Structure 1
Amino acid sequence: MDLSNFRFPKSLQTLGSHLPAPLANAPLMLILELARRRALLIAPDSLYGKSFCIKVEDLGLALCFYCDQGKFKSLSSLPMPDVSLSASAVDFLKLTTGQEDADTLFFRRRLKIEGNTELGIAVKYWIDASERPAWLNQFARRFMQTGEAM
């Protein structure tokens, strides 16, 4: 099964949109903090004081946070974040693991960037340049292979 076009069912999208922001944001904030502490994801100064929203379209999630002197802090919601990135869960997995770069997803219209374009491009390049731990790449390969075997 090719997971490139995989989308979670609409019922999950509805459920995701009803989750309280602190609960929905918790996994992302934990991952960002662990990556920061292990020096895998060091925010450049250009992100300091900026607000972000990650929209996982097929899960109905809007994960909002800001960068406070290199640390990421959760926000319950943002009427207008500095930049917003939207994609499906699988596309974010591919981006996170380096299986697809942000430019490829963007030009295929699978990654949408809204708000401050200059900041969006800086974030896109920062994500692409970030080192990924070996276990993350192994997880992605296994996940994608499992999907192909279905």
Structure 2
Amino acid sequence: MQNTSTPAYRIPEPVARVLGHLPRYPGSVLFVTGLNLVLARHLHPDTLHMLEGRSLRIHVADAGLRFDYTWRNGAFRAARHDVAEPDLTFRANAWDFHCLLQRREDPDTLFFSRRLVIEGDTELGLMVKNTLDSIDMAVFQPRAVLRDVARTLGQRLMPRARAAQASAGIGGGVEIR
């Protein structure tokens, strides 16, 4: 991983004020939809077992955004952590999260330079960080994401299409694939 020479971008303050007033829950729903479509299938079952029922938060500090979620019953779920603090929070600016995802910055470098703050359960935080470090970032490339989304949608829609065909008496031995 290389340290990027591009100066860190910050969300402009007027934009951050607007974003910070948006309700958290709808954003968390969108966030977990992305996690389920792109990330969940690449996580090891042991990791998912350790995440079961744990409350997590991604806090994009310069944008004033917080995404609260949990892993429960085989999927990431949006959550509301308004009453108690989540088990684990990752906080950084948007640019630093971008650099992490692009592997332009090492999470340890960001952590020790205080650009990435990890709060809460230390063991859980280390497990999540190591898990994300081990994932091949090629799965986040647009082509791979679109392929995975198409595959997921196909798996969900095909049984419905077959059932609709059968109930309409269509198909005459022709199988949809």
Aligned to 2:57: 53
Give yes or no for the alignment of 1:21 onto 2:24: yes
Structure showing greater radius of gyration is 2
Change (3 A) 1:69 1:125: farther
**What displacement does 1:109 show?**
1.0
Partners of 2:18 and 2:106 lie apart in 1 by: 29
**What displacement does 1:14 show?**
1.2
Give yes or no for the alignment of 1:107 onto 2:109: no
Asked if structure 2 preserves the Cα contact closer than 8 Å seen for 1:56 and 1:89, the reply is: yes
Alignment gaps of 5+ in structure 2: 144-177
Partners of 1:10 and 1:95 lie apart in 2 by: 23
Asked if structure 2 preserves the Cα contact closer than 8 Å seen for 1:88 and 1:110, the reply is: yes
Give yes or no for the alignment of 1:128 onto 2:133: yes
Give yes or no for the alignment of 1:90 onto 2:78: no
Aligned to 2:174: none
Partners of 2:35 and 2:16 lie apart in 1 by: 23
TM-score under structure 1 length normalisation: 0.79
Asked if structure 2 preserves the Cα contact closer than 8 Å seen for 1:106 and 1:112, the reply is: yes
Partners of 1:134 and 1:49 lie apart in 2 by: 25
Q: Which residue, out of 118, 121, 124, partners 1:116?
A: 121
Alignment gaps of 5+ in structure 1: 139-150
Say which SS state the counterpart of residue 53 (structure 2) adopts: coil
**What displacement does 1:114 show?**
0.6
Aligned to 1:40: 42
CA-to-partner distance for each residue in 1:13-40, whole Å, 9 max, x for gaps?
Answer: 2112211123222332121011246x23
**What displacement does 1:126 show?**
1.0
Query: Aligned partner of 2:95: which letter?
Result: V
Say which SS state the counterpart of residue 42 (structure 2) adopts: coil
Q: Which residue, out of 62, 65, 69, partners 1:65?
A: 69
Query: Aligned partner of 1:116: which letter?
Result: D
**What displacement does 1:119 show?**
1.0
Deviates more, 1:12-21 or 1:111-120: 12-21
Say which SS state the counterpart of residue 133 (structure 1) adopts: helix
Identity of paired residues, percent?
33
Partners of 1:109 and 1:36 lie apart in 2 by: 26
Residues paired across the two proteins, number: 136
Say which SS state the counterpart of residue 99 (structure 2) adopts: helix
CA-to-partner distance for each residue in 1:34-61, whole Å, 9 max, x for gaps?
Answer: 1246x23456121111110100011100
Query: Aligned partner of 2:124: which letter?
Result: L
**What displacement does 1:110 show?**
0.8
Partners of 2:81 and 2:8 lie apart in 1 by: 28
